[in-house]
Amino acid sequence: MPNLRFIGGIAWMAVTIAGCGAATPPSAQTPMPSEPTLINYVDPSVVQGLNTRTLFSGETGNRHVHAVYPAVADAPRLTEKLHGIVSEELDRFTRHGAPALPKPEFNVDWQLAAASPEVLGVRLRIGRSMESGWNESRTTVWYDRTKRRALDSADLLTGRPALVTLAGVVRGELALRGPLVTPNALRPDREMFDSLGFNPRGDLVVEFDDEQVGLGVAGRVAVAVPSATAAPLLSELGLRAQRAAVRAKRVPVPTSQEEIEAASTDKPPARSSKAGSVDCAKLRCVALTYDDGPGPETSRLLDTLRAHGARATFFSIGSNASARPDLLRRMRDEGHLVANHTWSHRDLTMLPSSKIADQLTRAQHTIAQTLGQVPALMRPPYGDSDIQVAAIAGRLNMAVVRWNVDSEDRQDADPQAIADRTVTRAEPGAIVLLHDSHPATVDAAPEILRRLSAAGYTFVTVPELYGSGEMVPGRIYESGGVSTALDR
């Protein structure tokens, strides 16, 4: 069983789902969260028609980029607005990034701040590496489902006078925070109040970008304005958003070493349901691996793999998996293997050990709860690993999987070119890097499968390349029969 005892005091972010039934108005009887500025996020899988869109994931120039945002089928204007925000931020980073850094990185993570038949709230967390270190900005976009409008957070307020009043309340609270915070930097500008949400009690949570109203070492700065104070300032949309946020219910998640272990003890390691049906010592085997999903293209790829009797290994991002658990279950049921690709695709080699563990365990928890199986493989984003990453993966009972054949599909929109590179470079025992988030890669799949099948290849999951031998946790695997053990 995965040994998670080493995690110790790592804090788990609460996972929440939307509640059912009538809305409960904010009340003083509602328990105050332990940290009042924490927002009660909604499980994205309960929102019908929600999928994820990948603007870009991979390396561009000398920069690491992973930019994903949600898309809801019946809210095209929300999707358009989110795309515009992420595109603008990525363009700004590309033009004005920090090329002097060894690995400049841009990363977009997201959560649902609220979801109801009337309103949706999407919180974007945009991180970028700067000369001074990692810096995050936060933006929450609201969608009025009744009027089909995508709006800024400031539109939760009744107007300019309400914004001025709110700024005064928040400034007064910031003045009590000590020398790391600079209340005088706060202005009643819409741009400064671009991330508004609500905690489970209905208090208005105002959060700021790093270094916007404080020193960098202050980290995330946020203020919870009591519901009674905030209510007169809220517009009709704001009141609906508040009700939707209060309606969300918490889901119990492991918060201690014992609970974490108990959540995994009844789940076996993930294994293809067809493992053992092929002897790769006698056949020409190749392992196709797909990163960064699941997403809108994954279902089409699964159709293609099923039509060709092929199976693959899917290194899934935890945040995407939480949005499309149905696709993870289909992968499992059709003989594929689901593995861990971290929660939000951060470069693990640039993180401290606690955040590496958090990236892996959050994804591990989501996948295991969905499938009833615990991933035994992980792939580090961008393929970047080191002794610390391998050691933490090993303690979580996961082998580290890289590749020896790169389809170079991430920046290529030509399916034929992707297929040609993959087929030309394939060899027995190869681990092939592909991405199910990329439409052209999915378009190339039938050609790849047809040509490699004609060349006598059999398509297997990664562990099948190694036959009866177990893949060792903490080892790095790049092709069939080859692994690297790092001192730990």
The DSSP bridge pattern shows strands 63-72 and 476-479 to be unpaired
The reply to whether 386 belongs to the active site is no
Q: How far apart are CA 258 and CA 54, in angstroms?
A: 36
Instruction: Give Dmax (Cα) for the chain.
Output: 76
Contact by Cβ (8 Å): 135, 257:
no
Q: Which residue, among 203, 249, 210, 239, has the nearest Cα to 224 in the 3D structure?
A: 203
> How long a stretch of residues is the chain?
488
Cα–Cα distance measured from residue 139 to residue 121, given in angstroms and rounded to the nearest whole number: 10
Give the active site residue among 435, 436, 438, 443.
Answer: 435
Are the C-beta atoms of 373 and 270 separated by less than 8 Å? yes
Distance CA 399, CA 467 (A): 15
Catalytic residue at 291? Answer: yes
Do 218 and 180 touch, CB atoms closer than 8 A? yes
Residues 335 and 347: their CA atoms lie apart, in Å, by: 30
C-alpha distance from residue 110 to each of 82, 86, 107, 323, 429 (Å): 10, 11, 10, 11, 37
Give the span between the Cα atoms of 83 and 75, in whole angstroms. Answer: 13
The pair of three-digit structure tokens given for residue 21, joined into one six-digit string: 């039934």
| Spatial distance between the Cα atoms of 481 and 479, rounded to a whole number of angstroms | 6
Measured CA to CA, the distance from residue 285 to residue 429 in angstroms comes to: 6
**Residue in 86, 59, 57 with CA at minimum distance from that of residue 71:** 86
The residue to which tokens 């959050």 are assigned: 362
CB 79 within 8 A of CB 72: yes
Catalytic residue among 155, 194, 291, 409: 291
Tokens 């009141």 correspond to what residue?
239
Are 471 and 377 in contact by the 8 Å Cβ rule? The answer is: yes
What are the respective helix, strand and coil percentages of the chain, to the nearest 5? 35, 25, 40
In order, the DSSP letters of 337-378 are: EEEE--SS---GGGS-HHHHHHHHHHHHHHHHHHHSSB--EE
Could you tell me if 46 and 216 are in contact, meaning their C-beta atoms sit under 8 angstroms apart? no
CA distance 15 to 312: 29
Q: Which residues belong to the active site?
A: 291, 435
